[in-house]
């Protein structure tokens, strides 16, 4: 296997993010020595990965955002119990961000913490969702409101698993990659797929190492996500996550311009990258109400000090708390929300 290994530096809990073609065929090397049983959590239609040399069970969860629920975590936990999984064994999450979020939270909760190995099979999983230890599920009131920080023993990104990935899932990943473009100023469009995955993984690994629990710099990874999460909740997940992030990136630029933080040229740079380079939709879905979106944003988990956004500005991308709701509402209406 050719590829690279990127270390997420967290002291005794450090772990590798391996990016390489064929990496998923040799998962045994990441299994902790004390693990006697392995529970693979996946979904129907997910590509198969390499076999393990110890008792294994495969548990499939439902598709779509409704699968990110406390009910799903309870169901997984009961399957773990029936299999006899202990805190010394291993949960292997094979799938996209929904799988790694749900399986990761179940692993964090099972016996108060069971080792986890992430094998993302989507682009968004490889560049973002599977790295960093954030796990969680949704409530009707908001995205990812219940969860835990639970770092895996490794993340194995095999680009071969992306063969046959539906166009919508490609768009999801590109939305997150666009985010990294603005966070770093790097031209990630010039890289081939494998190098782009590895570079995004390295960016996220360095941010997580500096701020594991999102107390400061890690919050920047939520660029474009405040509106994105609101769209997902209000519009009942008709847009996939990365598609909503693409819209959220452009709105964040428009809001930053309205607040006098950036000029129109910088807004146009956001739109050009998202819409022209990555060929993503940069407009709000029709029929969404400004007041509904505003209420959903107020429930965002980052909103600990009033409405909070990650916004561009003269000092680069930074967290801005206490944004005036009336200004946000005006920006939403101008962006296409209904009054």
Quick one: tokens of 256? 């930053």
Catalytic residue, chosen from 65, 169, 176, 212, is: 176
Q: Which of 196, 199, 204, 302 is catalytic?
A: 204
Q: Which strand (E) or helix (H) includes residue 106?
A: helix 97-109
Set 37, 68, 143, 218: catalytic member: 218
The residue from 196, 199, 229, 270 that is catalytic is: 229
Of 225, 257, 270, 302, catalytic: 225
What Å distances lie between residue 308 and 97, 129, 218, 290, 298, CA to CA? 24, 21, 14, 16, 8
DSSP string across 57-95: EEEEPPSSGGGSSHHHHHHHHHHHHHHT--TTSEEEEEE
Of 134, 179, 270, 302, catalytic: 134
Two structure tokens written together for 220: 């920047």
- Partner residues linked to 7 by β-bridges: 16
Of the listed 212, 214, 232, 243, which one is catalytic?
A: 214
Q: What separation in angstroms does the CA of 178 have from each of 44, 108, 143, 192, 226?
A: 29, 30, 21, 15, 16
> Would you call 225 a catalytic residue per the annotation?
yes
| Other beta carbons less than 10 A from residue 325's beta carbon | 14
Rounded to the nearest 5 degrees, what angle is found at the Cα of 299, between the Cα atoms of 294 and 304? 115
Cα angle 267, 268, 274; round to 5:
95
Is residue 134 annotated as part of the catalytic site, yes or no? yes
Measuring CA to CA, which residue among 35, 50, 41 is closest to residue 85? 35
Closest by alpha carbon to 58, among 70, 67, 48? Answer: 48
- Is 181 considered catalytic here? no
Pairing of strands 134-139, 142-149: antiparallel
Active site residue 229: yes
Catalytic residue, chosen from 241, 257, 270, 302, is 241
Distance between terminal CA atoms of the chain?
55
78 as an active site residue: the answer is no
Query: Taking CA 245 as the corner, what is the angle to CA 160 and CA 75, rounded to the nearest 5 degrees?
Result: 65
In whole angstroms, give the CA distance from residue 202 to residue 151: 16
Sign of the CA dihedral with 206 first, then 209, 212, and 218 last: negative
Whether 199 sits among the annotated catalytic residues: the reply is no
By annotation, the residues acting in catalysis are 112, 134, 176, 204, 214, 218, 222, 225, 229, 241
């Amino acid at each position: 296997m050719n590829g690279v290994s990127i270390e997420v530096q967290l002291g005794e809990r450090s772990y590798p993010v391996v990016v390489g073609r064929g990496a998923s065929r040799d998962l045994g090397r990441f299994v902790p020595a004390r693990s006697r049983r392995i529970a693979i959590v996946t979904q129907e239609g997910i590509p198969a990965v390499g076999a393990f040399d110890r008792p294994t069970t495969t548990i499939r969860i439902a598709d779509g955002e409704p699968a990110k629920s406390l009910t799903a975590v309870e169901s997984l936990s009961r399957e773990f119990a029936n299999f006899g999984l202990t805190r010394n064994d291993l949960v292997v999450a094979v799938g996209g961000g929904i799988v790694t979020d749900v399986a990761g939270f179940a692993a964090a909760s099972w016996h108060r913490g069971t080792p986890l190995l992430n094998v993302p099979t989507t682009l968004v999983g490889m560049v973002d969702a599977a790295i960093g230890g954030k796990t969680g599920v949704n409530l009707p009131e908001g995205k990812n409101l219940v969860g835990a920080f639970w770092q895996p023993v490794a993340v194995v990104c095999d680009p071969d698993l992306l063969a046959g990935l539906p166009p919508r899932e490609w768009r999801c990943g590109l939305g997150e990659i666009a985010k990294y473009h603005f966070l770093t100023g790097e031209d990630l469009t010039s890289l081939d797929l494998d190098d782009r995955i590895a570079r995004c993984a390295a960016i996220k690994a360095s941010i997580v190492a500096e701020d594991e629990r999102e107390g400061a710099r890690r919050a920047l990874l939520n660029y474009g996500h405040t509106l994105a999460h609101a769209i997902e909740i209000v519009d009942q997940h008709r847009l996939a996550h990365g598609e909503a992030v693409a819209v959220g990136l452009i709105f964040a630029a428009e809001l930053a311009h309205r607040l006098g933080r950036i000029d129109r040229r910088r807004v146009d740079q956001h739109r050009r990258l998202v819409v022209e380079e990555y060929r993503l939709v940069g407009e709000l879905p029709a029929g969404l109400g400004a007041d509904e979106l505003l209420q959903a944003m107020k429930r965002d988990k980052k909103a600990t000090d009033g409405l909070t956004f990650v916004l561009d500005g003269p000092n680069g991308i930074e967290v801005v708390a206490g944004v005036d709701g009336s200004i946000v509402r005006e920006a939403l209406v101008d962006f296409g929300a209904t009054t």
